[in-house]
Amino acid sequence: MNDTRCPDCAVTMEETTLRSQDGFSLTINTGKRSGLLGKLGVGSTTGVDAVCCPECGLVRLYADLE
C-alpha cells in the first residue's frame, strides 16, 4: 500500500486488517457487477485492504485488485 493520506486530516493513514469476529478476512462480492470492478476482471470475491486515520478514525477500504 502506498502512502495514503486522510482526506480530512492530511496525515498518513495506517494500514490495518479488517476481520470478522470469527477471524475471517472480509471480502467483497464483485462477480455479477457490470461496473468498474467487472471491467477490471476481478473474480467473484476479493479481499480488502484497510487503512485507518490515527487522527479522526476514518477507515478506508481498498479492494485487492491484483
Give the interface with Zn ion as residue ranges (CB under 5 A): 6, 8-9, 53, 55-56, 58
Q: Which is nearer to Zn ion, 37 or 58 (CB)?
A: 58
C-alpha cell at 35: 461496473
Query: C-beta of 63: minimal distance to Zn ion in Å?
Result: 21
d(CA 16, CA 33): 27
Q: Which is nearer to Zn ion, 13 or 42 (CB)?
A: 13
Please tell me what DSSP assigns to residue 36. H
Q: Go through the chain and tell me how many residues it has.
A: 66
Query: C-beta of 62: minimal distance to Zn ion in Å?
Result: 16
CB-based contact 6:58 (threshold 8 Å): yes
Query: C-beta of 1: minimal distance to Zn ion in Å?
Result: 16
